[in-house]
């Protein structure tokens, strides 16, 4: 697929908007574990079909020490026992907020995330999820290609 608008051009066309998105992402993730944020970003990008973001965030996760086998089974995280309870709650929350069109966010999902995160952390996690979903939509909409 050909890029509709080249990645560098998007940044040039609307630098304030992109700077704001980066700022929101940085603020949202500054108080959460990097490993958790990597998993959340990769999982949301998988759901949204964003190859560019999947590739970028999986590479970042590996550079920060994430194990490849955990990334390999991330789409089936419920089926394996290699993710902590906190990671599982974050992944469920990520899926719920990313798939809003499929079903409402359940009270069960919210109860689970509150068992492992403070209210402040849930706000941060939710903003981080919103941010990666925004980036996914930009990358998918303009056909950004992974840098292999």
pLDDT in 10s for each residue of the chain, 148 residues:
788 888 778 889 999 998 999 999 999 999 999 999 999 999 999 999 999 999 999 999 999 999 999 999 999 999 999 999 999 999 999 999 999 999 999 999 999 999 999 999 999 999 999 999 999 999 999 999 998 8
Count of domains observed in the chain: 1
Q: What is the pLDDT of residue 8?
A: 75
Residue 2 counted as domain residue: no
Q: Domain containing 79 — which CATH number?
A: 1.20.1290.10
| Residue 84 is assigned to a structural domain of this protein | yes
**What are the start-end ranges of the H helices in the chain?**
7-13, 15-29, 34-47, 51-63, 68-72, 85-98, 107-116, 119-141
> Between the CA of residue 55 and those of 81, 93, 107, what are the distances in Å?
24, 22, 32
CA 93/CA 21 separation, integer angstroms: 21
Sequence-ordered list of residues with C-beta below 8 angstroms from that of 97, at least 6 positions apart, any chain: 105, 126, 129, 130, 133
């Amino acid at each position: 697929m050909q890029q509709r608008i080249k990645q560098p051009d998007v940044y040039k066309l609307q630098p304030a908007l992109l700077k704001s998105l980066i700022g929101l992402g940085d603020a949202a993730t500054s108080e959460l574990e990097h490993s958790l944020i990597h998993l959340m970003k990769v999982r949301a990008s998988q759901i949204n079909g964003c190859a560019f973001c999947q590739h970028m965030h999986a590479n970042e996760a590996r550079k920060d020490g994430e194990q490849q086998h955990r990334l390999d089974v991330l789409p089936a995280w419920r089926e394996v026992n290699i993710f902590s309870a906190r990671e599982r709650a974050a992944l469920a929350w990520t899926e719920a907020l990313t798939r809003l069109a499929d079903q409402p966010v359940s009270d069960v999902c919210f109860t689970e995330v509150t068992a492992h995160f403070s209210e402040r952390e849930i706000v941060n996690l939710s903003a981080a999820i919103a941010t990666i979903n925004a980036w996914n939509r930009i990358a998918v909409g303009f056909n950004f290609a992974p840098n292999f």
